[in-house]
Amino acid sequence: MQIIPVFVRRRIEHRPNLLKIVDNIGWLFVDKILRLGVGLLVGVWVARYLGPEEFGLMNYAMAFVALFGAMAGLGLNGIVVRDLVQNPNGAGLTLGTAFLLQLIGGFLVFVLAVVAIGVMRPADDLARAMVAILGFAVVFKAADVVKYWFESQVKSKYVVWAENGVFLVLAATRVVLILNKAPLLAFVWAAFTEAALGGLLLLQIYAKKVGKLSRWQASLVRAKSLLMESWPLILSSVASMLNMRMDQVMLGAMANAAVVGNYSAAVRISEVWLMIPGILGASIFPSLILAKESDETLYRTRIFRISYCMALIVMPTAFLIAVAANQISHFLYGKGYDSAGGYLSILIWSGVPYLIFFVFNQVLYIERLLRISSYISGFAVLCNISLNLLLIPIYGGTGAAVATLITAVGSVFLSLFILNLKTGMFWKRFNEEA
């Protein structure tokens, strides 16, 4: 708050809820900007060191694990945050049950990923080893329930401390690996170590700042209630990850590692600004829940104002990146990644509809319309896989990028159409403005 201009601070200092949101957004921006700067620098260095083929193979393994890893969270994030806001007295039971469920989910993901890669690449020892290491790292994601607690309290600075401390240590470790000409597998172990240390440190910070972990409880009844509500989101999370990573997996099967390396380099850049929904969502979601409970008009107004602001930011940025895509990719990755710029000029637009309308995703949680997510996700998966099968054999990485863009636009507008049918939210807003 100290870095905010005085005239701005004076206008909001009498509004404690807004102060908490601004402060929380500030901490999350510190987190993301640090990760963006250091992560992009080190990530580019790793990509240059490994070259397109080894970089492509590592990203293939990461994408492969990610396809299964989406199940580990069990779609509990938004539900747990909502319940912690609405029923803080039941926090111990909610957190304990969610932690146990996600721990079990992580082990199941590890087993599924190892079995699947063994079936698909039985003779590729390196790929199987990478998937096993990265798959076991998913187990430590159970500690994300600590994030849910601090998110519900709009106090993300503690999470920022933990995750960035680990991130910086492992970024330095990757630099040391490059300087010592380490093999590919060493960078995979670094990714595992980052996940493990990050999870353990989150639990330690919760124990120090909030209370002992022994106060957490788990019950079968609470687990059933969480899963009964979250199962559509499990499907939605899996489908979302399929949409984000299936193109890289299919390119790995239908093209070659060099194409995957170039495509993954473009994806890394195009996904940078997807940090914005995470920052704003974590800070604004609790206030939307409270607005819904107190004032329906305020609730709808906040939703539309956020969307308008996002459009003003997103559209010009996407245009500038698309125009300068080749220069950006050449500057960052060098000549070995000549195709990355073309992929980036297409992929950068795939995030635009999600970013503009991201707040309507929060509405699904608040309105308890989570089944819609599973319908939209099912459509998106079928669309993406079908288009990839059609376009990759003809156009390679460009076809995969086009498939991703078409799927993104179609799924977002379909979700808005269905949401309007269920809530009438858009008609209400248009009538009010008329």
- Please report the pLDDT score of residue 433 as a whole number: 45
Which whole-number Å values give the CA distances from 162 to 1, 147, 190, 243, in the listed order? 20, 10, 17, 30
- Please report the pLDDT score of residue 146 as a whole number: 83
- Please report the pLDDT score of residue 428 as a whole number: 52
By the 8 A CB rule, do 139 and 132 touch?
no
By the 8 A CB rule, do 329 and 269 touch?
yes
Q: Which two tokens stand for residue 406?
A: 């078409």
Tens-level pLDDT at each residue, the chain (434 residues): 555 555 455 555 555 555 555 665 665 566 666 666 676 778 888 888 888 888 888 888 888 888 787 777 777 777 777 777 777 777 788 888 888 888 888 898 899 889 988 888 888 888 889 999 998 988 888 888 888 877 777 666 677 777 777 888 888 899 899 999 899 899 999 989 988 988 888 888 888 877 787 788 888 888 888 888 777 667 766 766 676 677 777 887 787 777 888 888 888 788 776 666 555 655 566 667 777 777 777 777 777 777 777 777 778 888 988 888 888 888 888 777 888 888 899 988 887 887 766 676 677 767 777 677 667 777 888 888 899 899 988 888 899 899 989 988 888 888 778 777 766 655 454 445 43
| 4 within some domain | no
Residue 316 burial (CB count, 10 A): 10
| 380 within some domain | yes
| 8 within some domain | no
pTM of the model: 0.64
d(CA 256, CA 65): 19
Q: Mention every residue, 6+ apart, whose C-beta is less than 8 A from residue 87.
A: 94
- Please report the pLDDT score of residue 71 as a whole number: 77
Give residue 222's Cα distance to chain centre: 26
DSSP symbol at 255: S
- Please report the pLDDT score of residue 434 as a whole number: 39
d(CA 278, CA 159): 13
| Maximum separation of any 2 CA atoms in the chain, in Å | 66
| 186 within some domain | yes
Total residue length of the chain? 434
| 209 within some domain | yes
| 12 within some domain | no
Q: Mention every residue, 6+ apart, whose C-beta is less than 8 A from residue 426.
A: 416, 420
d(CA 124, CA 95): 40
- Please report the pLDDT score of residue 430 as a whole number: 42
d(CA 144, CA 77): 9
Domain that residue 322 falls in:
17-433
| 107 within some domain | yes
In the chain, how many domains are there? Answer: 1
H or E element that contains 116: helix 91-120
| 152 within some domain | yes
Q: Mention every residue, 6+ apart, whose C-beta is less than 8 A from residue 325.
A: 341, 342, 344, 345, 348
